[in-house]
Copies of this chain bind each other. A is one copy, B any other.
Amino acid sequence: MNLTRNIFRIVTSAALSRTPTHLIKGHPQRTLMDGGISAIKTENSGDEFLKEALVILMQDAVQKGTDRGHKVCEWMEPEKLHEILDLKLQRNGESQEVLLGYCRDIVRFSVKTGHPRFFNQLFSGLDRHALTGRILSETLNTSQYTYEVAPVFVLMEEEVLTTLRHYVGWTAGDGIFCPGGSISNMYAINVARFHRFPHAKEKGLSALPRMTIFTTHESHYSVRKGAAFLGIGTDNIILVQTNDRGKMLPEDLEKKIEKSKSEGAVPFLVSATCGTTVLGAFDPIADIADVCERHGLWLHADAAFGGSALLSSKHRHLLHGIERANSVTWNPHKMLGVGLQCSAFLLPDTTGLLQRCHAANATYLFQTDKFYDLKYDTGDKSIQCGRRVDCLKLWLMWKALGSQGLEKRVDKALEQTRYLVEEMKAREGFCLIMEPEFVNLCFWYVPPSLRDQQDSPDYWQRLGKVAPVIKERMIKKGSMMVGYQPHGDRVNFFRQVLVNPALTKTDLDFFLDEIELLAEDL
């Protein structure tokens, strides 16, 4: 009943909000900042609309969206939200006022992933320089295939990739930005396969022996998706054992490679992980590289999450040996917070492998009689045709902060993780899954009623039900968001991820207090 009335109020206020009162011309609300957007002469109503929408964006999404005084999310049941948002597309267009109201509602009911208390994914935060780069990319709206249509971005992508490769430890090489880490990991599978069997491109896999991929059960699910998509088959992924911290055991890798060979398959790729999704584990790359070299396997390092630790002289040891990999996935949209998507696929190869593996030489795009050097038409390295500009946001943020600034962010995230670990140890109810080595802090919260009940036969079953309840409560309250999952034999536990550069000690204390508060009656 209450809910229904609440909904009614929301609908009403949403409808009212479609006359954005603060935008009325001549409104006295001003600051010292003159000569901004309002000073721009606009010639058409589209520009006028865009300007007004930018005001909503700045106020509601950027400022309130990152303000601790506002909620992380405003929960609404799907059916109710559908009703409120008036999503249906119609024959006639709407007025600018109604459209601005939609913009306001979209922001209102969207999760504020830039909020300091959004801990739900491997990304969080709203870096203003990166955002500027993203908005510029959107406005310039070009495709990263030829120098002709993307002169600035072809050069910029190469510069950014060169810098990322430098941090991997390579003075030369190749690379490309891909639509997310999953697809970067699929590039690794394809390039490794092409490297082993160049005629796979033309002949396909039905002409080849069964090929096998080695990874652990801690690795990202894109290895499975990739094996399926690329025709390798998920049964041909061989899971290598891990130690109790989730790190690949090189001895078991070697054993499994030999076994697979003895069964008539062709082992061709090891996909090791630097910073696993749940535990934040780093596979021992150097030892794995030894095994790969002995057996002639391609070593891919999925450093989508952990790659950013390479920027820290203090923590880059976590990826010790990564320069021995044949390819690397590194997603600056995760820990560096440049915004979805920004995923680099990097390799030390200087023989044009990426180009040969993927090129289709379309004559309508990659003409061979252009008046400039064709090496600048880099698009045929990609499996895509139109490809978004993903380099500018990272480039601009890097220019703003410098490598030094980025290094500080990484160091701070790891320090904050340590702080949170110590605080958890000092409080009752927080039970660490393990000491973290990165910024993933995995823990059970044992609510008052379950403390000292570990010998009870249904203890684990009951504990497994705690995280979902706390999660539901925090979302409905909108105070923060953090992920949980079951994992192997372990029942549901929280995974706290500390990557938002705006985080303060107060936010971490708030996090602990809030978990306690949300679970005090459990």
Contacts and interface: CB of A to CB of B under 8 A. Distances in A.
Contact of A221 (B34, B201, B362, B388): B362
Given A92-B404, A235-B204, A41 B31 contact: yes
Contacts of A40: 31, 33, 36, 55, 58-59, 63
Contact of A201 (B30, B89, B234): B234
A257 B57 CA distance: 54
Interface string A191-226: 001000000111111111111000000001110111
A152 B37 contact: no
A109 B44 CA distance: 25
23 contacts: A37-B54, A40-B63, A62-B139, A73-B151, A78-B155, A87-B155, A90-B403, A93-B402, A109-B151, A109-B152, A110-B140, A114-B139, A121-B143, A179-B183, A200-B228, A202-B233, A205-B206, A221-B385, A226-B383, A229-B230, A341-B388, A363-B487, A371-B475
Given A99-B399, A372-B77, A386 B181 contact: yes
A157 to B, nearest CB: 10
A172 interface: no
Interface in A160-208: 160, 163, 179-183, 186, 190, 193, 200-208
Nearest to A233: B204
A136 B230 contact: no
Contacts of A357: 228
6 nearest A-B residue pairs (beta carbon): A204-B233, A231-B231, A37-B37, A36-B38, A46-B128, A179-B179
Interface stretch (A17-25, A429-437, A505-513): A17-25
A111 B146 CA distance: 11
Contacts of A402: 90-94
Contact of A89 (B27, B163, B383, B483): B163
Oligomeric state, in copies:
2
Given A138-B135, A233-B204, A472 B129 contact: no
Interface in A335-393: 339-341, 357-358, 360, 362-365, 367, 369-373, 376, 383-388, 392
A223 to B, nearest CB: 9
Interface stretch (A100-108, A290-298, A514-522): A100-108
B383 A182 contact: yes
Contact of A30 (B38, B156, B186): B38
Contact of A483 (B44, B57, B364): B364
A231 B204 contact: yes
A384 B180 contact: yes
A503 interface: no
A85 interface: yes
B50 A278 contact: no
A227 interface: yes
Contacts of A388: 179, 340-341
A76 interface: yes
Interface residues of A, number: 183
A163 to B, nearest CB: 5
Contact of A36 (B36, B151, B358): B36
A42 interface: yes
B386 A333 contact: yes
Contact of A51 (B33, B156, B182): B33
B35 A25 contact: yes
Contacts of A52: 36
Interface string A132-148: 10111011111100011
Contacts of A92: 402, 404
Contact of A113 (B140, B156, B372): B140
Contacts of A33: 25, 38-40, 42, 48, 51
Interface core residue of A109, A150, A362 (most chain B CB under 10 Å): A362
Interface in A448-482: 465, 468, 471-472, 475, 481
Contact of A229 (B46, B143, B221, B383): B383
Contacts of A206: 205-206, 208-211, 233
A138 B130 CA distance: 10
Contacts of A186: 229, 383
Contact of A139 (B47, B57, B150, B367): B57
Interface in A375-424: 376, 383-388, 392, 395-396, 398-405
